[in-house]
Amino acid sequence: MCGIFAYTGPDATAGAIVLEGLKSLEYRGYDSWGVAIRTADGTISVIKHTGKIGSAKLPHIVSHTALGHTRWATHGGVTQANAHPHLSSDGKIVLVHNGIVENYQTLKRELQELGYAFRSETDSEVIAHLIAETRKSVSDPVACVRTAFERLIGMNGVVCYFADDDTFVAVKNGSPLVFARAGKARLLASDPAALAPHSREVLFLEDGDCIAISPDGDTYYGADGMKKQMVFQLLDFDPEDAQLNGFPHFMLKEIHEQPELIRRITEAQEEAVKKAAVMIRESYGTYLVGCGTASYAALAGTYLFSKIAGRHVNFSIASEFAYLTQFIRERSLVVPLSQSGETIDVIDGVRDAKMRKARIMTITNVQGSSLFRMADYALLLGAGPEKAVCSTKAFTAKVALLLLIAHELAGNRERGQETLKQAAAAVADVLDRKDELRALAERMHHRDHLFVLGRGVSYPVALESALKIKEVSYIHAEGFAAGELKHGVIALIEQGTPVLIYNPDDETYHDTLSAAHEVKARGAYVIGVSSRNSDVYDAYFHIDDCADATIIPNVVVAQFLGYYLAVLKGFDPDKPRNLAKSVTVK
Ligand code: F6R
């Protein structure tokens, strides 16, 4: 949440470089944005706006140094004053921040008593003044930032620029920060994908680490304050992967990438899958944890492990996991699922489990991310950058990996690979018939409510489908276990209410069909997604049967419905209101 980008180097268009960096980070927050540029005479020029960056351009200012921020509001409304960067009172210290300063009110009162005047309502401005105040007694920029940072409670990432010293200092605790060198240029960002156009080799700052970039060179310090060697990692994706490449939206592009991605996972992940299966086999209890879409992939995992491998694997929403870790012990295995690898609710639970000596096996899309680094073993989804705020390809990639691991545990790897190949082909077929889904969306886009039903492993898919639809189209969509219908939900069905029903040809088929009849009898407009048509469906979308992998093409139906509903209602599917990718605050 919130994107940070900073540049210093030989190029005289630093402001424009930072603006481009912010555009690629905008999915981390789009309430407001701002850029601070060091002008030729050493003064700082700040440009801030509310709303999305869109195709914004900056006035041309000759500059070799700039830093910027794209904001997801936490403390203080969406106003220009609350947009970052924030300046110290004398305008010589510039600050951008990602995170929450939990004790900001105490610090603010203290600074106000010392005579500091605040221009914004943010917790971030407190840090700028705190650094300025600290500088009175600690002149070295690194020591100064470190001393001030130690007073902050919470998970924070800060990049501070001292105009007088022409020095950047970056420090983090929880919120991600990545550093890169590109020739003589130095760059910092909250996400490696933003650095990829400049350099494929990046350094992920560890918690408590600090980096200083000054005219004398760049220096890296560990949490103990001692100089530390920089270890750069080669990014595993091409910068081209982060472009629209002819698609109108990233969501649509990422939906289309799924058949190829599933094929790749089937073929390329054999060693990782074997190792994961061994870790699960050797554990005293395995716990899958994740948030939002990742939590639904985790829940699907519990069904897949039970059905395919006869193995009980626990599941918890990551934000609740911290209240359930009392039974975690040595040899427990915790499996965080996270596209970004930076979701704070997941990190918190994993940290707690690590303290209890659990082993950690992360499944993530971002190499070098916090959860990647916290793991004893990490599996990479290899899905390439996911830029749309709502997750599509990362969900199917997680489910594909879990399904392969379950088959590996059951000793029938080939069967898993075979069903995934069928699933990849079935997804390609959904892509070919997407106009049918657009027509369905046209029929439904004026409705206020929509329900999604499924049983067994189709239940988590119903939850994920409802999330996909509601988060981009703002239609109230709810997913339910089809069997729960009679226990309350059915009261919500009215004449014409759309009900999407997943009814694969498995052990749930007949019971789910009964649910279809029950809602139909109460006036619902029933959309059946199945390999078998039935008279009960008002609309039918055929999905080839791919055994337990059928949930993969099934969810793609809802991804398209969400996309088309959003577009028909005039919303930007890539940047839904109030949301941001990579939820690094609580
Ligand atoms: C929904 C969505 C979110 C994320 C959740 C976890 O489309 O994208 O629900 O799945 O915030 O994010 P990661 O997977 O990065 O931990």
Pocket of ligand 1, beta carbon within 6 A: 291-294, 338-340, 343, 346, 390-391, 467, 471, 582-583
Predicted confidence (pLDDT) at residue 360 exceeds the cutoff of 90: yes
Residue 222: predicted pLDDT: 95
Residue 501: predicted pLDDT: 98
Tokens of 417: 């690979």
Tell me the pLDDT band of 355, cut-offs 50, 70 and 90. very high
Q: Does domain 241-432 have CATH number 3.20.20.210?
A: no
For ligand 1, atom 3, the nearest C-alpha belongs to: 292
Mean pLDDT across 421-449:
97
For ligand 1, atom 16, the nearest C-alpha belongs to: 338
Residue 131: count of CB within 10 angstroms of its CB: 23
Contacts of 512 (CB under 8 A, 6+ apart): 453, 454, 455, 458, 482, 501, 502, 503
Residue 242: predicted pLDDT: 83
- Shared fold status for 3-235 and 241-432: no
Mean pLDDT across 533-552:
98
What percentage of the chain carries pLDDT values higher than 90? 90
Residue 85: predicted pLDDT: 98
Predicted confidence (pLDDT) at residue 203 exceeds the cutoff of 90: yes
For ligand 1, atom 6, the nearest C-alpha belongs to: 291
pLDDT digits 0-9 by tens, 135-193? 999 999 999 999 999 999 999 999 999 999 999 999 999 888 999 999 999 999 999 98
Tokens of 275: 């190792």
How far out from the chain centre does Cα 226 lie? Answer: 32
| Alpha-carbon distance values, 27 to 36, 54, 216 (Å) | 20, 11, 34
Candidates 26, 572, 549, 543; CA nearest to 252 is 572
Tell me the CA–centroid distance for residue 195 and ligand 1, in Å: 22
Tell me the CA–centroid distance for residue 313 and ligand 1, in Å: 21
Q: Are 291 and 1 in contact (CB under 8 A)?
A: no
- DSSP string across 28-96: G--SEEEEEEE-TTS-EEEEEEES--TT-------BSEEEEEEE--SSS-S-TTTSSPEE-TTS-EEEE
CATH of 434-576, one of 3.40.50.300, 3.40.50.10490, 3.40.50.2300, 2.60.40.2240: 3.40.50.10490
DSSP single-letter state for residue 489? G
Tell me the CA–centroid distance for residue 39 and ligand 1, in Å: 39
Residue 239: predicted pLDDT: 78
Q: Is 393 a catalytic residue?
A: no
Q: Are 493 and 519 in contact (CB under 8 A)?
A: yes
Domain boundaries, given as residue ranges, for the chain: 3-235, 241-432, 434-576
Indicate the top mutation candidate among 320, 348, 391, 582 to test ligand 1's pocket, ranked by most ligand atoms within 8 A of CB: 391
For ligand 1, atom 1, the nearest C-alpha belongs to: 390
What is the residue-averaged pLDDT of the chain?
Answer: 95
Residue 322: predicted pLDDT: 84
Tell me the pLDDT band of 31, cut-offs 50, 70 and 90. very high
Which range (28-42, 194-208, 237-251, 327-341) has the least confidence?
237-251
Tell me the CA–centroid distance for residue 145 and ligand 1, in Å: 32
Q: Does domain 3-235 have CATH number 3.60.20.10?
A: yes
Tell me the CA–centroid distance for residue 457 and ligand 1, in Å: 20
Atom of ligand 1 nearest to the CA of 340: 15
Predicted confidence (pLDDT) at residue 325 exceeds the cutoff of 90: no
Catalytic residue among 227, 228, 581, 586: 581
Predicted confidence (pLDDT) at residue 546 exceeds the cutoff of 90: yes
Predicted confidence (pLDDT) at residue 464 exceeds the cutoff of 80: yes
Predicted confidence (pLDDT) at residue 585 exceeds the cutoff of 80: no
Residue 269: predicted pLDDT: 86
Q: Is 307 a catalytic residue?
A: no
Catalytic residue among 2, 144, 160, 546: 2
Mean pLDDT across 523-551:
98
pTM: 0.92
Predicted confidence (pLDDT) at residue 257 exceeds the cutoff of 80: yes
Residue 206: predicted pLDDT: 92
- The SS3 of residue 99 is strand
